Structure 1
Amino acid sequence: MGLTYDVTPQLANNGFTVAELFAGGGLMAVGLRAAGYDIVWANDFDKSAVKAYLHNLGDHIVPGDITAIDIDSLPDADIIAGGPPCQDYSVAGPGAGEEGERGKLVWRYLEIIERKQPPAFVFENVKGLITKKHRPTFDALLERFKEIGYTASWRLINAWDYGVAQKRERVFIVGVRNDLGFTFEFPEPRSEDYRTQVLRDVIGDLPEPFLHERNPQDGRYSSPYLSRNRVVGWNEPAFTVLTNPRDVSIHPGDSSITMETVRNHTEKHYWSPKSEYTYDQANRVQSMDGPCSTIPAHHNSGQPIHPTQAPRRFTVRECLRIQSVPDSYVLPDDISLSAQYRIVGNGVASRVSYLLGVALAEQLRTALGKDVKEAA
C-alpha cells in the first residue's frame, strides 16, 4: 500500500526565509516549507530530534544549547519561528514556569528576536502559558515584545478547527516589526476545515500494524500492581488476580482482542470510547468518528488508545498523521521508539503552521506591495 497522506501541498517559493529555534524534528518546518518558505537555519538541543530533522529537512540545522550559541552567528532571516520547550508551562507538568530551566528559554527566544530584529516572528507554546498561574509571564512576554519594537497578536488555536483530526490547543504569538505598519491577523478556519476531520479520515486506510511496528510498551507499565492493560507473556507468571474488573491483566494473545471481547462482568464496555477525557488520562479509547485527543510526547500510559484495535496505542506513523504530517516524513529506524514519540508529540501540527505561514506571507507581501499564492 502506498503512503500518500498529505494535507500540506507544496506551494511555490514565496521569497521569504525562516530561521527556526527549538526546531525539534521539524514538524513546524514541514508546514512552513510547504507554505513556500526557504528555511535557512535551525537549532535544537535534542540529538534524536536533530537526526530526524537532518533526515527530512536538510543539513541547515545546528545542534547544541541555544543559550550557548552566539546570537550574532545566526543568519538574517525574514521570520524567526519556534516554540521554547513547554514542560514548565504544561497543565500536566510540575508548573515551574519561567523559574524552570526550560521555562527560562522563553526569554532567550525574546533576546534573539531583540538582537536579530527580523521583520516577523512566530512563537508557539502550550495552553498552560495563558492559565492563571503563568499569565503574568505571558503578559510580561507580550509587553517585552512591544518594548523591542513589535506589534504582537496572539490566539489560542485548536488544531481541529484548521483541518487536523486532533483536539490540540496551542498558543501562537505572531509579531510584526513596527516599521512594517500592520498587525498580523490570524486566518479564520475555513468551513471545509472547521472540525470536519476525524480519525477515520487520517488513519482509516492504515492496516493493523505488524508486530515490529507495535509499541512494545502496550500493556506494560513500571508499576506491576494496579496498572491497566497489563499484557502477560505466555512464558511469564500472571500478575496478581484482582477483584476490580477495570484493572484486569490482558491475555497474551492480544492480537485477537477486540473492542467486543474486552469487557467487564457488569457489561460496561471498558474499551468503549467516552465523549470526553482529561489530558493524560489512562485508557483514552478514541473514536474513528471523532478527533483524537492531544498526542503527548511520551509513549506510556498517557497515550490515546486505538479506536478499533484496542488495547493498543497509536503507532508512530498514526501519530504523525494525527499531527497532519505527510507520509513523506520518515523517522530513521535508529532513533529509539521513545524518542520518536517524543519528537512527534512535541511538534507543531504541520497543517496549522502551514496555514499560519501562508497567512503571514500574504500579509507581509501585501505590506510590501507583492502577491503570494493562496493555500490549498
Structure 2
Amino acid sequence: MAVGLKAAGYDITFANDFDKRAAEAYAYNLGDYVVCGDITSDEIQAQIPDADIFAGGPPCQDYSVAGTGDGEEGERGKLVWTYLGIIERKQPKAFVFENVKGLLTKKHRPTFDALLAKFAEIGYSVSWRLVNAWDYGVAQKRERVFIVGVRNDIGLTFEFPEPRPEDYRTQVLRDVIGDLPEPNTHTYNHRKPNGLKTDAEYLPKLPKGEGVSTRRAAEILGDIYWQNYARAGTDEAALTVASEGQSKPHPTQPRRFTVRECLRIQSVPDSYVLPESISLSAQYRIVGNGVASRVSYLIGIALAEQLNVALSQSLSEAA
C-alpha cells in the first residue's frame, strides 16, 4: 500500500509491522521510519505521530476463506479494533482500511457492520467497496475490501474512483511478465504437505499457456493435495497472489512464479527490491500480504483530490 501512496504524492512518516522481515523490506525500499513491533503495545502506539491520513490493513488471516476463520476472536482478527482505536484517538482527516473479502461473508459480516457503525460513531463518514484489482489495470483477480473514512467536520463522503475503460480487465499475465527472462535455476519448487512430491514432478503434467481450474488440476494430477496447482493462462489475469510462502504455477514453464513475477503481478515497480538477506519463503509472504500498488495509488489520488476540494471550499466559506 505504501508504494502506491508514495507514488500518489503522499509523504509517509510512520509505518509499523510485527513481521521483522516485512519491516526490513520496508526500510530497504521506503524509509527507516518503519517500527517493528506489536501495534497493541503502549510502547509502539506512543510512537505513532499525528497525520492527515492513516492507511493500513490489519492482518487478514482470521477472516480469510483459506485462513483460520476465527474472525475477531482470533489474535490477528481482533486487530481491526486496534486500528479503530488508533483512528479514534488520533482523529486524522481521513483513513484507508483494507482487508480480505472474507470480512463480508455471513460469518464475519456482523464484525464488518459493527466496524462501520463504530467508525461512524467516532465521527467519520465512511464509504466501502469490494475492489477487484483486475478492474483497475492490475493483471490479477484480487478482491479486497476497502473502507475509506473522512472526518465529519470536513463535510465529504468519499467516492471510490471508477475503473477506466482502458484499465477494466484488460491486463493479462503476458502484459506484465512477458518481458522477464527465465530464471537461471529452478529454485522455486516447493515441497508439498505430504512431503513426497515437488512441483518439478507435477507441473510438467499441466497444459501450458492455458488456464487450469482447481478441479481440472486435481483431475489431471489425481491427488486432492494438489488443488493449488490451478493456474491462469497467458491471456488471463493471474489468480490471487497468496501469502502462504509460495506462488501459483507459471502459465508456460514447469515452475512457480518468481518473486519478481509476483511483484509485477501485484503492480509493484521494478525499483522495489527485496534484500537477499530475506529468505525466499519470507519474500513470497511479504508480496502476498501486500496491497496491489496500483489500487492504493488510484485510491490515494482520488482521496487527495476530493479532500483538497472539500478543504478549499471550507476555507473559502470561512473567508
- TM-score, L = length of structure 2: 0.90
> Which residue matches 1:223?
194
Q: Deviations over 1:157-211 (max 9, x none)?
A: 0000000000000000000000000100000000111000000000000111111
Q: CA deviation at 1:104?
A: 0.5
Give runs of aligned pairs for residues 145-164 of structure 1, distance below 5 A: 145-164=119-138
Residue 49 in 1 paired to residue 22 in 2?
yes
Q: Which runs of 5+ in 1 are unaligned?
A: 1-27, 232-248, 251-258, 264-268, 371-376
Residue 274 in 1 paired to residue 220 in 2?
no
The CA distance in 2 between the partners of 1:318 and 1:270, in whole Å, is: 20
Residue 291 in 1 paired to residue 237 in 2?
yes
Q: Judge conservation of contact 1:299–1:338 (CA < 8 Å) in 2.
A: yes
Residue 308 in 1 paired to residue 252 in 2?
yes
Q: SS of the residue aligned with 1:73?
A: coil
Match of 2:300 among 341, 353, 357: 357
The CA distance in 1 between the partners of 2:234 and 2:211, in whole Å, is: 12
Q: CA deviation at 1:273?
A: 3.4
> Which residue matches 1:18?
none
Give runs of aligned pairs for residues 164-313 of structure 1, distance below 5 A: 164-211=138-185, 214-217=187-190, 220-225=191-196, 227=197, 229=199, 231=200, 249=201, 262-263=204-205, 273-274=210-211, 276-277=213-214, 281-300=227-246, 303-309=247-253, 311-313=254-256
AA partner of residue 255 (structure 2): R
Q: SS of the residue aligned with 2:296?
A: helix
The CA distance in 2 between the partners of 1:179 and 1:214, in whole Å, is: 54
The CA distance in 2 between the partners of 1:146 and 1:285, in whole Å, is: 41
Q: CA deviation at 1:221?
A: 2.1
> Which residue matches 2:13?
40
Q: SS of the residue aligned with 2:23?
A: helix
Q: Judge conservation of contact 1:273–1:284 (CA < 8 Å) in 2.
A: no
> Which residue matches 1:22?
none
> Which residue matches 1:73?
47
Residue 112 in 1 paired to residue 86 in 2?
yes
The CA distance in 2 between the partners of 1:334 and 1:85, in whole Å, is: 24
C-alpha distance 187-285 of structure 1, shift in aligned 2 (>3 A):
same
Match of 1:136 among 87, 103, 110: 110
AA partner of residue 262 (structure 2): C
> Which residue matches 1:243?
none
> Which residue matches 2:32?
59
> Which residue matches 1:16?
none
Q: Judge conservation of contact 1:166–1:323 (CA < 8 Å) in 2.
A: yes
Q: Judge conservation of contact 1:152–1:183 (CA < 8 Å) in 2.
A: yes
C-alpha distance 175-281 of structure 1, shift in aligned 2 (>3 A):
farther
Give runs of aligned pairs for residues 308-347 of structure 1, distance below 5 A: 308-309=252-253, 311-347=254-290
Give runs of ≥4 in structure 1 deviating > 3 Å. 69-73, 269-278
Give runs of aligned pairs for residues 356-375 of structure 1, distance below 5 A: 356-369=299-312
Q: How many residues align?
A: 302
Q: Which runs of 5+ in 2 are unaligned?
A: 216-225, 314-319
After TM superposition, the structure 1 stretch with the greater mean CA deviation from structure 2, 70-79 or 172-181, is: 70-79
Q: CA deviation at 1:270?
A: 5.2
Q: Deviations over 1:246-277 (max 9, x none)?
A: xxx46xxxxxxxx8xx44xxxxx655633644
Give runs of aligned pairs for residues 1-16 of structure 1, distance below 5 A: none
Q: CA deviation at 1:154?
A: 0.1
The CA distance in 2 between the partners of 1:56 and 1:49, in whole Å, is: 11
The CA distance in 2 between the partners of 1:138 and 1:285, in whole Å, is: 31
Q: SS of the residue aligned with 2:312?
A: coil
Q: CA deviation at 1:286?
A: 2.1
C-alpha distance 179-72 of structure 1, shift in aligned 2 (>3 A):
farther
For the pair shown, the structure with the greater C-alpha radius of gyration is 1
Identical pairs, percent = 69
AA partner of residue 304 (structure 1): K
Q: Deviations over 1:60-106 (max 9, x none)?
A: 11111000145343211010000000000001112000000000000
AA partner of residue 285 (structure 1): R
Q: Judge conservation of contact 1:44–1:65 (CA < 8 Å) in 2.
A: yes
> Which residue matches 2:221?
none
- TM-score, L = length of structure 1: 0.77
Q: SS of the residue aligned with 1:160?
A: helix
